[in-house]
Structure 1
Amino acid sequence: MRLVMYSALEAPRLGAVCQNNVVDLNRAHHAYLAASGDDCESRDLADALVPTDSLEFLRGGRRSAEAATTTLMWVLEQLRAGNFPTGVWGEKLVQPLSGVRLAAPVLRPRKIVCVGLNYRDHAEEQNAKIPKNPILFAKFDRSLIGHGEDVEYPAVTEQLDYEAELAIVIGRSGRHIPVATAMDHVAGYAAFNDITSRDVQFADRQWLRGKMGDTHAPFGPYLVTADEVPNPGALKIRLWRNDELLQDSSTSQLIFGIAELIAFTSASVTLETGDVIATGTPGGVGFARNPPVFLQAGDSVRVEIDEVGVLENRIVKRS
């Protein structure tokens, strides 16, 4: 399933992308229950199982996933039969994907954990030693934006850089998670762009201020559930600035794989449902190129990861 937080004329709601359409899962669930003759009169119970928010949906675990799957199958059956199902009050359940705005697929994660120097080709382009352990840093929830939203070019930098990354979203919370069972804690995957004020990062000799900017974590376009990505360690990952291909690699280049990152991080902090781990970027980043390539106002930046999706954002300079 490809989950989104989308909006048309209202606050973002949980949807599922199918056949270039977005299905409102919460409203569709209510309609499905009514159509199937379910005698449950409690809206609160139905809302708890398939809520309007992706984070609350992930907290529902297996039961919420099964309810959403059943609901989506019902909607698709209606569409195949030539029917256009509506909600219990006549509201639209299906809208064209092109007609909605996408927010980040998880709006308020408790943590955004990022990993530095985690691709072999990225280490090689800097002549850097392979790290013995993952290098972790953080971003904040105001950094997150969705597909199609603008990235701010802040006044504090003259070297705005890009970093295409595969992000994982935690489904089941845990602490001291062993490598052997770590993948059981993954809800799904999304594309991520670790926008970096490179001159600020290097001037500070630590990474936080150069990485934490508002809008500097494009994330999406959707959350692809783990069952749809059977081998996340062998995905092509690419980044374009406008029409120029600048990064072209594979997650097979990861130094520390997804299970290792979950185990290592959870040894220090509890990983909670909805937490995001951005797994690092491959070679081809702007500062390491000869000559260096940095983002400019007006640029379009596109991250593409096989089986996961295409994330595109525009760089905008604020006055």
Structure 2
Amino acid sequence: MKLVSYRRDGKPGFGAVKEQGIVDLSARLPQIADLASLVADNLALDEARRLVSAATEDFALTQVELEPVIPRPNKIICVGINYVAHAAEAGRTVGKYPVIFHRYAETLLPHGAPLVRPTVSDNFDFEAELAVVIGRGGAHIAPGDAMSHVAGYTCFNDASVRDWQFHTHQYGMGKNFRGTGALGPWLVTADEIPDYRELAIHGLLNGERLQTGQLSELAFDIPSLISYVSQALDWQPGDILATGTPSGIGFKRQPPIFLKPGDTFEVVIPGVGTLSNPVADEA
């Protein structure tokens, strides 16, 4: 299934994409509060699959305002320097442990919404990533059991304000400007992706491919990342794990390429989807 969160007539909802429309699961499963609650409940997910297979669309995709797949995740865990080629272009080496940083939910925006270039910087860069959505939470998860905690996958753009990122060696501030973390357009459930390592990822700026990678190239794979974080923090349903970006980012190019108003950046992951966002200056 392809699952979405949205607003329709000002009211939040969630559903499944079918053809060019949405099957309204929030109406059919009123006991389920939101998409994070749905992916935490295997029985409800099975019921959703049955409902979707038998239903026709309730309304068109164009009749809703998409939200980030999980609008308010409890946490967003991001991984830096997780492709060897990206580490090389950044002048870094992959270490013994993953580079972990965090995003705030308030920085997220959905497919189609403008990425916001801040007033304080024009060093606004793109990072195409595969994001994992956690279904079953837990702590001290063994790598061999980690994939059973995955609800599905979506696209993520970890757009970064580079000069602010390097104000100090703790670069979280440059990763947490308002309106810079695009997530969507939908969650593809894990049963639709038998092996995430077979996925490719591309980043396109105004239609030109600048980033490309294979998920088999991750220095720290998804099971090891889920396990590593779970030693410190309990994963919660709906949490997001952003797995890192491949090489080709803008600020390491000669000359650098930064996002500017009028641009459009796309994260393309065949089998998962295309996340597309224009760029606008902060009002």
Q: Which position in structure 1 is the counterpart of 2:39?
A: 58
Q: Which position in structure 1 is the counterpart of 2:9?
A: 9
Q: Where in structure 2 are there 5+ consecutive unaligned residues?
A: none
State the secondary structure of the residue aligned to 1:246: strand
Pairing of 1:75-94 with structure 2 (within 5 A)? 75=55, 79=56, 94=58
State the secondary structure of the residue aligned to 2:167: helix
Q: CA deviation at 1:205?
A: 2.4
State the secondary structure of the residue aligned to 2:219: coil
- On the 8 A contact 1:303/1:311 being kept in 2, the answer is yes
- Structure 1 residue 233 corresponds to structure 2 residue 187: no
Q: CA deviation at 1:155?
A: 1.5
Q: Which position in structure 2 is the counterpart of 1:72?
A: 52
**Amino acid of the structure 2 residue aligned with 1:154:** P
Pairing of 1:203-242 with structure 2 (within 5 A)? 203-242=167-206
Q: Which position in structure 1 is the counterpart of 2:25?
A: 25
Moved more, 99-108 or 186-195: 99-108
The total of aligned residue pairs comes to 283
**Residue 229 of structure 2, aligned match among 230, 240, 265:** 265
Deviations 1:203-227 (A, max 9, x none): 2222111001111110000011100
Distance in 2, matches of 1:11 and 1:125, equals 45
Distance in 2, matches of 1:97 and 1:52, equals 21
Pairing of 1:186-201 with structure 2 (within 5 A)? 186-201=150-165
- On the 8 A contact 2:5/2:70 being kept in 1, the answer is yes
Deviations 1:125-174 (A, max 9, x none): 22321221111000001111110111111112220000000000110011
Percent sequence identity over aligned pairs = 39
Q: CA deviation at 1:10?
A: 2.5
**Residue 207 of structure 2, aligned match among 240, 243, 252:** 243
TM-score, structure 1 as length reference: 0.86
Structure with greater proportional helix content:
1
Moved more, 10-19 or 113-122: 10-19
Distance in 2, matches of 1:204 and 1:297, equals 27
- Structure 1 residue 254 corresponds to structure 2 residue 254: no
Deviations 1:149-203 (A, max 9, x none): 1111111222000000000011001101000100000001000000100011112
Q: Where in structure 1 are there 5+ consecutive unaligned residues?
A: 30-45, 80-92
Deviations 1:256-299 (A, max 9, x none): 00001001110111111111000000000011112111111121
**Amino acid of the structure 1 residue aligned with 2:39:** L
Distance in 2, matches of 1:308 and 1:138, equals 23
Distance in 2, matches of 1:72 and 1:244, equals 36
Higher RCO structure (Cα 8 Å, ≥6 apart)? 2
- On the 8 A contact 2:66/2:110 being kept in 1, the answer is yes
Moved over 6 A (4+): none
Distance in 1, matches of 2:98 and 2:78, equals 10
Q: CA deviation at 1:231?
A: 1.0
Larger Rg, first or second structure (1 or 2): 1
- On the 8 A contact 1:189/1:225 being kept in 2, the answer is yes
State the secondary structure of the residue aligned to 1:14: strand
Distance in 2, matches of 1:74 and 1:223, equals 20
**Residue 47 of structure 1, aligned match among 30, 50, 64:** 30
- On the 8 A contact 1:220/1:311 being kept in 2, the answer is yes
Deviations 1:292-316 (A, max 9, x none): 1111112111110121100011111
**Amino acid of the structure 2 residue aligned with 1:159:** N
Deviations 1:35-89 (A, max 9, x none): xxxxxxxxxxx522xx352112123x111101111111221xxx5xxxxxxxxxx
- On the 8 A contact 1:147/1:219 being kept in 2, the answer is yes
Distance in 2, matches of 1:283 and 1:125, equals 7
Distance in 2, matches of 1:275 and 1:52, equals 16
State the secondary structure of the residue aligned to 2:179: coil
Q: CA deviation at 1:245?
A: 1.2
Q: Which position in structure 2 is the counterpart of 1:34?
A: none
TM-score, structure 2 as length reference: 0.96
Distance in 2, matches of 1:289 and 1:11, equals 43
Q: CA deviation at 1:108?
A: 1.2
RMSD: 1.3
Structure with greater proportional strand content:
2
State the secondary structure of the residue aligned to 1:47: coil
**Residue 280 of structure 1, aligned match among 244, 247, 252:** 244
State the secondary structure of the residue aligned to 1:314: strand
